[in-house]
Chain A
Amino acid sequence: MTIITDQKLIINENYEDQINKHKIPTSKKKSIPYRDWREDQPVFKLPIEFCRFRLENGRISIEVSSHKATINPLDPNSPEDQKKIFGYLQSSDREKNKVLSNLLKKDGQTSPAVITADGFLINGNRRRMLLESLFNETYDEKFKFIDVCILPGKNDPERPTLKDIAMLEYRYQVQDDGKSDYTEMAKAITTRNYVNAGLPLPQMLRDDPKYSELDDKPFNRDVKAFERDYLGTLDLIDDYLSENQMVGNYKFMETRWESFKELNQKIMSKLKNDELDEKYLAKYNIDEDEIGDLRAACFNIIKLKNPQIINKNRHTDLIRAINPWLSNSKKEFLELAEIGDVSDEITNPREREKKWEETKAELVENTVKKIQALSNKKKEQQGPINKLKQILSMLEHDYLDEDQIKRMPIPELDTAIKITNSIQTANKSLQQTFYDLKDNKSPHALKKHFENK
């Protein structure tokens, strides 16, 4: 890992000379979010072979990390590894690749890529990959060149530092400016790479238009939420992978991101030694020395494949059920921790998974079914006040995911408004029933209320 400091970026002079020799000036200009540059920068045409992929690219961060974990670390200077990255980019989002490829065919390259003076792509990896693919497909000469803006080189006083590159890359790749075409897991990995390399998270987020205008208080709250939802979730996945002999193999867990996020938000982030949420422990009657067992039990739930076993549609619903299970049958839930993992001698992730399915899954499923049944029974025994309280807590924050709400598109917001109106109407009717019952205005008030439904 490169440590980001104010140290100047190392530039391969040989490559820089080659680029200078082969770059063709154009009349186009483009602004780039480098430092506080305001003036548009010249755009050059460059043969695509002089542009190389960077390993730090967020879009392929899952693959790069998983490659390192399962095979070996990739070397950006190796032509073979460049081909591998090409392959990862090719398979990263085939649908989007297809759309962009068609656009390139139809309109040509409309937005230039950004490269370092020695040719590493800061922005435009996918375009670079697609141009090469199109050239291989059509042998059309126009796909042999890529439009680029080139960052200052070795002898330029504006030559970038490592920090400049990180910020520029972050601005292009991670900020929510409509290019949200890579996953939260990839965003988390990329961000953590920057943080580990010395670029503080608040500095990165302050640069993001989504956060830049916020006052300190809401900003700090959002930084905390980001830390929890992205970095915290990733740490949790790391723990899980480590315990399952799969360090760094994020690819294997890609589909479980939302479940881990839910698990971290609702449970694990509350159980940290230095920020222990005592209220959470008290609410669910958890002793401090049960935290290890609780986590092990949750990890067994993560491994379950089929949420339908308790009539849930999504895997995250399984995670969401954990807190109610803790309320109703903590003892039985913690029994899940006793179901150990498969032998460490099996090191291949797929084999481990298979073995777990064969030997452990049924036991976990049966325990979960038992807990769910106990939970249902307890719910049935609850009185109206408890049920109303439950409804209220669902409406407040326990149930609704703040982050998901923030990302809702406008048509969904309209639906949400309609639903909230219906909630209001239903609530008014229920409230009127309670008033009537209290005032004894109508002895049949309750009957009437349910007949009207």
Chain B
Amino acid sequence: MVNQINLVDDTFTLKFNKKLDSSTSYQLKYFGFNRLDKNTNIPIFKALIKNVKFVETLNFLKKKKITIFLCDNSQKYLKKIKTNEISQKKNSDYLVSIKEKPNLNEYNDFVSSINYLKRDLQEHQKKSLFHLQKAVSAAIFSVPGSGKTSVVLAYYEKLRIEKKVNGIFVIGPRSCFGPWEDEFLLNINRNHNSKILNINPTKRKIIYDQKLKNELFLVHFKTIANDIEYLKNFFLENKLLLVVDEAHNIKKIDGVWSNAVIELSKKSIYKVILTGTPLPNDLRDIYNYLDFLYGYNSIFSKKDRASIEILLNNEKKDEAINFVKQKIHPYYTRVTKKELNLSKPIFNKPKLIKMNPIEKNIYEAILTKIRNYGRSTFLNNIDLIQRICKARIIRLKQAASYVRNLDSALHDEDINIHENLLDDKSIRNQIKKYDQLEKPAKLIKLISMVKNLKNQNKKVLVWSTHLKTINLILKALLAEGIVAEKIVGKTDLDKRRNIKEEFNLKGSSLDVIVALPQACSESISLHKACHNAIYYDLNYNAAEFLQSLDRIHRVGGSEMIPVEYDFLHYVDTVDVKVYEKVFKKADRQMQIIEEENLTFDLEDIEENWETLYNDLSL
């Protein structure tokens, strides 16, 4: 009798003609086969087809030099598995060819078929759309300001005409809602008929239950997590193109938002991931995007993930990066800044300003305290190092922006437990009464710069990372008769849109926007009429800094007119070091962004408050 494997209905029977060693028996058990009679010398195993690792079993037996005869059904089953593997491979090869070397006839036919849009797409957008259509679901990782939204709207319109979908469902931060509505109008020749699902839960549920009345749905990540069960039904009832904008918000593995969004993705055939900064920190950030697009573990299997983890643990980053690159290459398109042919931005040398006496006094007092505490005081308590370094940097940054930012520290007991940088009474009084005592030197310089630009009919975008500073600047500008608005986290969508529209209108009265990068560095275009930005202060977040630069440097305005960036620094303060650090990081990231392929900035993971603190060389 020869060794044989038979498949009848859904059950495999594996028969051997002689006794097997325990290692082989166990391996077969591992592959899903159960041994029937353990005492016989002619072992027989059985297994349900769904439980068996069939190809692996055959490879294992081959490795063990055990020849096995496959019945017709088994052979057919094996052929089916191999055909599936080949078709998957073909599909990914095809997508690579779409990106790298598309068939010209096919591409030209595709281009000539784009006759349903109000506004023409640029060449790089057409390429992205071509890839997206062929892939059905895919990611677009093009840099901010490259027109990703237009590509998705073109894809949507095509799907709608073909009756494959009857609506587009966009998940993103609130700041992206307005731009989606605007872009809809600009790209597709009809009213967007949108619904922003920021209404109360009862009203939302009514929308999910009723017949589709809107075409464009705009939803925050949090709402998806809250409404997931209703939304799953909503997607069953309606054919919707599912889009995640600023998708880096769902990069957290096993996060509440990401889990809900991935869960919802199972209910849609057509899906798009959008982000210009796909991997801000970690290689593993990519997993959720691909799980969203193609299902859990379909592109990165558990084994792949484990291998990446081990490579990273063993400090084999390059190998890990290459592995990830190779895996994801077929599934995204990306346009770099260089390819957009925008004007070259001008980074003016930072303006160095001497502090006014009282702010200098306060800054110096904090610095002296820090120097007196030294490193040895906290070296004995390793756990506190990170917290104290962070607290020290924050205090210095606050003082160098506007000393009233230190108000919060006057009551911050948590930090005071470890060291009190502001325990001097006279300093505390100076902080409290600062506004009556003097104007910060930086503010005076800023006002003069803005006035100068206004005289040249130029609008300005002013950035600060501190809320109190933003209010100070706004008040000072208004006092000088300069029309200004602020955009911070609390600015609601309508207000934000009105500010944006007025600011983008050439000749409008709104001259200045004062903005907080955390609230305004994503999904907002301010480039139509403004080509100047002034950074009053910076934080260490290079990704956010890069995003903020792109607000006035984008497709559709920045091709011909150069943009200018100015930076205000107090002499011999933390300003200078933060600037150097952020520029260094941003420079590296910009180089990365400019590269043809995606690469990753893994270095940032290792940076902590202690190294940032040491970098200040106090």
Once the chains are docked, how many angstroms separate the CA of A435 from the CA of B614? 12
Query: Do B309 and A289 touch across chains, with their CB atoms under 8 A apart?
Result: no
Interface range for A: 20 to 34
Query: Do B310 and A295 touch across chains, with their CB atoms under 8 A apart?
Result: no
Query: Do A282 and B56 touch across chains, with their CB atoms under 8 A apart?
Result: no
Given the contacts A292-B24, A293-B23, A278 and B30 also touching, CB distance less than 8 Å: no
Partner of B306 from A242, A271, A279, A432 at Cβ < 8 Å: A279
Query: Do A292 and B26 touch across chains, with their CB atoms under 8 A apart?
Result: yes
Most buried by A among B26, B38, B380: B26
Partner of A291 from B27, B38, B59 at Cβ < 8 Å: B27
- Interface membership of B378, Cβ < 8 A: no
Partner of A296 from B26, B305, B307, B310 at Cβ < 8 Å: B26
What does the 1/0 interface line of B29-40 toward A look like (CB < 8 Å)?
A: 011100000100
Contacts of A341 in B (CB 8 A): 22
What does the 1/0 interface line of A424-453 toward B look like (CB < 8 Å)?
A: 000010011001000000000000000000
Shortest Cβ gap from A290 to chain B (Å): 8
Partner of B23 from A279, A282, A337, A428 at Cβ < 8 Å: A337
- Interface membership of B3, Cβ < 8 A: no
- Interface membership of A243, Cβ < 8 A: yes
Interface range for B: 20 to 34
- Interface membership of A195, Cβ < 8 A: no
Quick one: closest B residue to A341, CB to CB?
Answer: B22
Query: Do B22 and A282 touch across chains, with their CB atoms under 8 A apart?
Result: no
Query: Do B23 and A296 touch across chains, with their CB atoms under 8 A apart?
Result: yes
Shortest Cβ gap from A159 to chain B (Å): 41
Given the contacts A271-B30, A288-B56, A289-B27, A279 and B310 also touching, CB distance less than 8 Å: yes
- Interface membership of A138, Cβ < 8 A: no
Contacts of A295 in B (CB 8 A): 23, 26
Contacts of A289 in B (CB 8 A): 27, 56, 59-60, 63
Quick one: closest B residue to A385, CB to CB?
Answer: B315
Quick one: closest A residue to B32, CB to CB?
Answer: A273
Chain B interface mostly: helix
Once the chains are docked, how many angstroms separate the CA of A312 from the CA of B23? 27
What does the 1/0 interface line of A333-363 toward B look like (CB < 8 Å)?
A: 0000100110000000000000000000000
Shortest Cβ gap from B409 to chain A (Å): 28
Contacts of A291 in B (CB 8 A): 26-27, 30
Given the contacts A292-B27, A296-B22, A337-B23, A278 and B306 also touching, CB distance less than 8 Å: yes
Contacts of A242 in B (CB 8 A): 38
Contacts of B38 in A (CB 8 A): 242
Once the chains are docked, how many angstroms separate the CA of A283 from the CA of B303? 11
Chain A interface mostly: helix
Shortest Cβ gap from B375 to chain A (Å): 8
- Interface membership of A281, Cβ < 8 A: yes
Contacts of B24 in A (CB 8 A): 292
Query: Do A278 and B63 touch across chains, with their CB atoms under 8 A apart?
Result: no
Once the chains are docked, how many angstroms separate the CA of A420 from the CA of B382? 15
Query: Do A283 and B310 touch across chains, with their CB atoms under 8 A apart?
Result: yes
Once the chains are docked, how many angstroms separate the CA of A155 from the CA of B21? 57
- Interface membership of B379, Cβ < 8 A: yes
- Interface membership of B25, Cβ < 8 A: yes
Contacts of A299 in B (CB 8 A): 22
Once the chains are docked, how many angstroms separate the CA of A125 from the CA of B450? 93
- Interface membership of B302, Cβ < 8 A: yes
Shortest Cβ gap from B391 to chain A (Å): 21
Once the chains are docked, how many angstroms separate the CA of A280 from the CA of B310? 9
Query: Which residues 73-127 of A sit at the B interface, judged by CB distance below 8 A?
Result: none
Once the chains are docked, how many angstroms separate the CA of A243 from the CA of B379? 57
Once the chains are docked, how many angstroms separate the CA of A282 from the CA of B32? 21
Contacts of B32 in A (CB 8 A): 273
Query: Which residues 415-452 of B sit at the A interface, judged by CB distance below 8 A?
Result: none
Query: Do A292 and B23 touch across chains, with their CB atoms under 8 A apart?
Result: yes
Once the chains are docked, how many angstroms separate the CA of A271 from the CA of B26? 11
Partner of A428 from B28, B301, B380 at Cβ < 8 Å: B380
Once the chains are docked, how many angstroms separate the CA of A268 from the CA of B59? 22
Once the chains are docked, how many angstroms separate the CA of A431 from the CA of B379? 10
Once the chains are docked, how many angstroms separate the CA of A278 from the CA of B304? 9
Contacts of A296 in B (CB 8 A): 21-23, 26
Contacts of B313 in A (CB 8 A): 283
Once the chains are docked, how many angstroms separate the CA of A296 from the CA of B23? 5
Shortest Cβ gap from B318 to chain A (Å): 17
Once the chains are docked, how many angstroms separate the CA of A295 from the CA of B30? 11
Once the chains are docked, how many angstroms separate the CA of A291 from the CA of B23? 8
Contacts of B302 in A (CB 8 A): 276, 278
Query: Do B56 and A340 touch across chains, with their CB atoms under 8 A apart?
Result: no
Contacts of B27 in A (CB 8 A): 289, 291-293
Query: Do B309 and A273 touch across chains, with their CB atoms under 8 A apart?
Result: no
Shortest Cβ gap from A13 to chain B (Å): 42
Query: Do B21 and A282 touch across chains, with their CB atoms under 8 A apart?
Result: no
Once the chains are docked, how many angstroms separate the CA of A292 from the CA of B22? 8
Contacts of A279 in B (CB 8 A): 306, 309-310
Partner of B303 from A282, A340, A432 at Cβ < 8 Å: A282
Given the contacts A292-B25, A432-B379, A278 and B305 also touching, CB distance less than 8 Å: yes
Contacts of A243 in B (CB 8 A): 22
Partner of A282 from B59, B307, B379 at Cβ < 8 Å: B307
Contacts of B303 in A (CB 8 A): 278, 281-282
Query: Which residues 204-235 of A sit at the B interface, judged by CB distance below 8 A?
Result: none
Quick one: closest B residue to A247, CB to CB?
Answer: B38
Once the chains are docked, how many angstroms separate the CA of A273 from the CA of B56? 12
Quick one: closest A residue to B62, CB to CB?
Answer: A289
Once the chains are docked, how many angstroms separate the CA of A21 from the CA of B530? 104
Once the chains are docked, how many angstroms separate the CA of A359 from the CA of B253? 53
Shortest Cβ gap from A383 to chain B (Å): 11
Query: Besides A271-B30, A279-B309, A292-B23, 10 other CB < 8 A contacts?
Result: A243-B22, A273-B31, A273-B32, A273-B53, A291-B30, A292-B24, A293-B23, A293-B27, A295-B26, A435-B379
Q: List 8 A-B contacts (CB under 8 A).
A: A239-B26, A278-B305, A279-B306, A281-B303, A282-B303, A283-B310, A288-B30, A289-B60
